[in-house]
Amino acid sequence: MNRKTLFSLLLLLCLGASSRVTAQYDDDYYGPLFTRPKALGLTAGTQGLGLDFTQSILPGWSVRLGGSYLPFSYKYGSVFGDVDTDVKLKTKSFANAHLMVDYYPFMDLGLRITPGVGYFFNAQGEATVKPSGNYKYGDINLTGDQLGTMQGNIKWKGWAPYLGAGWLFRFREGESPLSLAVDLGTYYMPKPDATLTGTVLFENNSYNEEHFRENVKNYRWLPVLQVSLRYSFYSY
């Protein structure tokens, strides 16, 4: 076999391999949607625990549909004026569904830019303040139960745009279906609805409630720091 014949055979092999790669590439991203890469992920972060489904639509572009729920409760002691108090913070029905678009500007890197939108069904934050010690008013000693309890509630409901960035880490690229994603961003929440209620001596708080609403009206940024463990059904 002379050099000319050998070169011709090598050229044909390269062209054949190239056409197979191109065909596979076309099948991945330009065939039916179910043939394109997809992944299922478990998420944990500041917006709670959740589940995401990712579907690639074009090279460097994918969409994520998911939801999350934030269970949170925390108690601590504090002092207001001369009164010792117990403070309890908790969330109620803090759940959302979201649709994100991930754009990878560099195909060889895991960096992604993510705009999106979330819908918060009835996200509430609640703070309850209860005096735990005694309070002296003139010559009168009052217990915590005699003073009463004060409760502030903030509620967000509706659509919230999202913008963030993240990084996708692949484990043994091309061999393992597992990957890890880290995202940092923020939601711009709907304007909150705030109420302030009380019992016993803290009743009739209409004046303080107006101040409370004014103080929390700009509580609309919800920072998101999230980690996702993903399983790919079709290797990227």
- Locate the domains of the chain by residue range: 37-232
- pLDDT tens track for 111-147: 999 999 999 998 999 999 888 877 777 778 888 788 8
Tens of pLDDT along 209-219?
888 888 888 99
Q: Give residue 5's pLDDT band: very low, low, confident or very high (50, 70, 90).
A: low
What is the DSSP code string of the chain?
--HHHHHHHHHHHHHHHHHHHHHHHHHHHHS-GGGS-EEEEEEEETTEEEEEEEEEEETTEEEEEEEEE---EEEEEEEETTEEEEEEEEEES-EEEEEEEEE-SSTTS-EEEEEEEEEEEEEEEEEEEEE-S-EEETTEEE-HHHH--EEEEEEEEEEEEEEEEEEEEESTTTT-SEEEEEEEEEEEPPPPEEEEEE-GGG---HHHHHHHHHHHTT--EEEEEEEEEEEESS--
pTM: 0.77
Q: Which of 157, 152, 158 is closest to 90 using CA atoms?
A: 152
CATH for the stretch 37-232: 2.40.160.170
45-64 pLDDT tens trace: 999 999 999 999 988 899 99
